[in-house]
């Protein structure tokens, strides 16, 4: 086959470009809805007079319900047209986000976050399945790369814009902004996305629940699940308190806060492809270990800072982003090499659900460790929280070492 025909084969058609764009926008709205509550933390706690424990539960409620929903639907997702499945869960996500945007009490917000998580937690898995169905293997890596940009874009564009309108119209307004954008995306899916139903022609007699249980009980898979859980615990334990810590402890203004999140988003978009290339070139476990050491050093310094200049806070947050993101790529690559092909779908579904459940547990525990007796005073015990994250990071290194040895032994 000539190089010209190969290039033509690797090019995206206009419909494929549309699919990539619409799925990326879908990811953008879902990711933004999940992470926007963290930068809104200080404003939300002061507006509703919430304790740190209550705020932690508002974060973890989404993660718990998303993880539960992912586990329940993982075995049955292949029995429906993926377009219809996406539309169903996306409209549930929109309804839940709308109720977040009109919440006036803590109990209403908590119920709305649980409802949103039940639907939003499945959308990512459906999007990945659509990509696997519509794109051949030689195109799939680039498509997944575009979809992952939804996370960075939510930080570069979504969070700064959300903070701006939240400071102007109240903390509920970012959720209503997400609803408007999501409705537009939903209509594009209805009228432009073709049915994704070829997989329905392949009948399977295998019991989905039995397959999920078998995947859960294999020893080498459990090590992968455990590593994912500890990584998520370490990441989510710090995430909800980002805005409250920089405002109350480091004395950054609410006007400066969007620039920190914007710079972190640009850092994510920049660092991910670089780390991806390094991960393919060098030993993934060594790269993960180096990233973990960088993270441990940076968060230890960060936790012991007092009021400092904006530029120091910005640089420290970029260091945090480099540490966390540089761990993500090699750990995902190593963990994804554990399952056999026949177990891959169930393994990824369980792994994704456990990631969200562990994140919910981390946010809840973080709310119990961190204390703020007065909404205008600094957070207390933030350093204790960080030392717990350091311990979790060290445990993660040993778990990834076991995974690395299993993979090398199988090769």
Q: Residue 179: pLDDT band by 50, 70, 90 thresholds? A: very high
Decide: 360 and 63 in contact? Cβ < 8 Å: yes
Q: Domain 208-411 adopts which CATH fold?
A: Growth Hormone; Chain: A; (1.20.1250)
Q: Residue 1: pLDDT band by 50, 70, 90 thresholds? A: very low
Give the pLDDT score at 14. 81
Q: Out of 51-60, 96-105, 279-288, which region has the weakest mean confidence (pLDDT)? A: 51-60
Give the CA dihedral 263, 266, 272, 274, nearest 10 degrees.
Answer: -100
What Rg, from alpha-carbon coordinates, does the chain have?
Answer: 21
Give the pLDDT score at 218. 74
Write the pLDDT tens digit of every residue in 237-291.
Answer: 777 777 778 887 788 877 777 788 778 777 777 777 777 667 667 778 888 888 8
Give the pLDDT score at 130. 77
Q: Is the alpha carbon torsion for 250, 255, 260, 265 positive or negative?
A: positive
Say yes or no: domain 14-194 is CATH 1.20.1250.20: yes
User: Considering only CA atoms, which of 182, 70, 175 is closest in space to residue 121?
Assistant: 70
Write the pLDDT tens digit of every residue in 301-348.
Answer: 888 887 888 888 888 888 888 888 778 777 777 776 777 655 655 676
Decide: 196 and 58 in contact? Cβ < 8 Å: no
Give the pLDDT score at 128. 72
Domain boundaries, the chain: 14-194, 208-411
DSSP line for 62-93: HHHHHHHHHHHHHTTGGGS-HHHHHHHHHHHH
Give the pLDDT score at 248. 79
Decide: 208 and 76 in contact? Cβ < 8 Å: yes
Decide: 189 and 93 in contact? Cβ < 8 Å: no
Same fold, 14-194 and 208-411: yes
- Residue 288 makes CB contacts below 8 A (sequence gap 6+) with 327, 330, 331, 334, 397, 400
The encoded tokens of residue 152 equal 């960075």
């Amino acid at each position: 086959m000539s190089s010209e025909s190969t290039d033509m084969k690797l090019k995206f058609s206009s419909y494929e470009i549309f699919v990539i764009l619409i799925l990326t926008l879908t990811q953008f709205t879902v990711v933004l809805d999940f992470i926007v509550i963290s930068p809104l933390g200080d404003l939300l706690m002061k507006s509703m007079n919430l304790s740190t424990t209550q705020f932690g539960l508002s974060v973890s409620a989404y993660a718990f319900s998303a993880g539960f929903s992912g586990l329940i639907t993982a075995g049955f997702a292949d029995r429906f047209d993926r377009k219809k499945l996406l539309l169903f869960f996306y409209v549930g996500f929109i309804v839940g986000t709308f109720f977040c945007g009109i919440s006036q009490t803590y109990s209403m917000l908590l119920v709305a976050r649980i409802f949103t998580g039940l639907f939003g937690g499945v959308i990512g898995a459906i999007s990945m399945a659509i990509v696997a169905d519509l794109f051949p293997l030689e195109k799939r890596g680039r498509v997944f790369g575009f979809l992952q940009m939804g996370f960075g874009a939510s930080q570069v564009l979504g969070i700064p814009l959300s903070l701006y309108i939240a400071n102007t119209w109240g903390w509920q307004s970012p959720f209503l902004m997400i609803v408007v954008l999501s409705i537009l995306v939903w209509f594009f899916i209805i009228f432009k996305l073709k049915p994704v139903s070829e997989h329905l022609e392949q009948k399977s007699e295998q019991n989905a629940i039995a397959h999920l249980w078998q995947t859960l009980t294999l020893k080498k898979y459990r090590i992968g699940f455990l590593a994912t859980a500890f990584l998520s615990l370490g990441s989510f334990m710090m995430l909800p308190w980002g805005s409250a810590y920089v405002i109350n402890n480091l004395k950054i203004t609410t006007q400066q806060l969007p620039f920190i999140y914007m710079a972190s988003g640009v850092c994510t978009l920049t660092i991910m492809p670089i780390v991806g290339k390094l991960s393919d070139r060098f030993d993934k476990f060594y790269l993960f270990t180096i990233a973990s050491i960088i993270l441990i050093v940076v968060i230890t310094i960060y936790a012991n800072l007092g009021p400092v200049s904006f530029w120091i806070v910005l640089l420290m947050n970029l260091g945090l982003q480099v540490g966390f993101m540089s761990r993500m790529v090699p750990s995902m690559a190593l963990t994804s090499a554990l399952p056999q092909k026949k177990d891959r779908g169930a393994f990824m579904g369980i792994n994704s659900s456990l990631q969200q459940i562990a994140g919910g547990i981390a946010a809840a525990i973080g709310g119990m460790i961190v204390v703020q007796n007065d909404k205008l005073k600094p957070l207390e015990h933030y350093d204790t929280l960080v030392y717990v994250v350091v311990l979790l990071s060290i445990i993660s290194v040993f778990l990834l070492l076991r995974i690395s040895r299993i993979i090398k032994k199988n090769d």
